[in-house]
Amino acid sequence: MKTAQDVVAENPGLPEVIVSRTAIMGGLVDLASLRSDPLWEQDFITSNWVWHPPEYFAARAEVEEGLPAQREAAEIALHLALIGLEGKLPTQVDGPPFAYIPDVGAYEEIVSWDHHILGDIHSFSGKHATSSEAIAAWKSKLLAKAAQCGGDTLWWRTKPEIDGRIPFGESVAQWRVYSRLLIGNIADTLIERLRRGEMGPTRNMVADNLVTAEQLNEIGWSLDENGDWSKLGWVFDYGKGRPIRP
């Protein structure tokens, strides 16, 4: 059985040496020697063990030391970028837990990177070497989304967040911006349709977080003894499962 040192000696001059999970399970390389050597790390995605030379770890440590200050500056830059988009985006409000505009769809992720749809959830392209590149890519996608939807309101499910980290096996930071939102017309929201009397509320609307009981109370709806929503001038239609105007 080979030790970690044997594997490195057999591959002189390489910037990276990999011992596969299969080789370890097959008893070809001593796992204890890999764990005890600080130059070997386990890739949590593949379970392979990877060796890098000391200068790799020195470079990564230097980058890690500066990351907290860089993240703080990046967060400020992202905040200023969002302020700069006012007038170019619909009115921004905080959104409810779930989408509540029928026929519009659910909240969508607007991110700076491009996913590969190849079955590997950890794979992505467009890795940004700087926070400014990530912010610029995110802004471009957000503006394109707003132009495509054309609604008058932007509901934030997750406001933009920026993250910089050093991926496994690399010694430089990569940056990402993440957000989740919904764009539509406020007049099309469920609560506004209920307010106009176009429909009556079902029990599930509150249970599914499409509207709140407080919102329904504000527009004159109350729960009856059967746990259904009632309002003067409306009758409950058991076939449709909701109140209707007679």
pLDDT (tens digit per residue) in 11-67: 999 999 999 999 999 999 999 999 999 999 999 889 999 999 999 999 999 999 999
How many C-beta neighbours within 10 Å does residue 150 have? 10
Q: Which of 166, 159, 239 is nearest to 202 (CA)?
A: 239
What mean pLDDT is reported for the chain? 89
Structure tokens at 235: 């009758």
pLDDT (tens digit per residue) in 65-122: 999 999 999 999 999 999 999 999 999 998 776 667 777 767 889 999 876 544 444 5
Contact 155, 100 (CB under 8 A): no
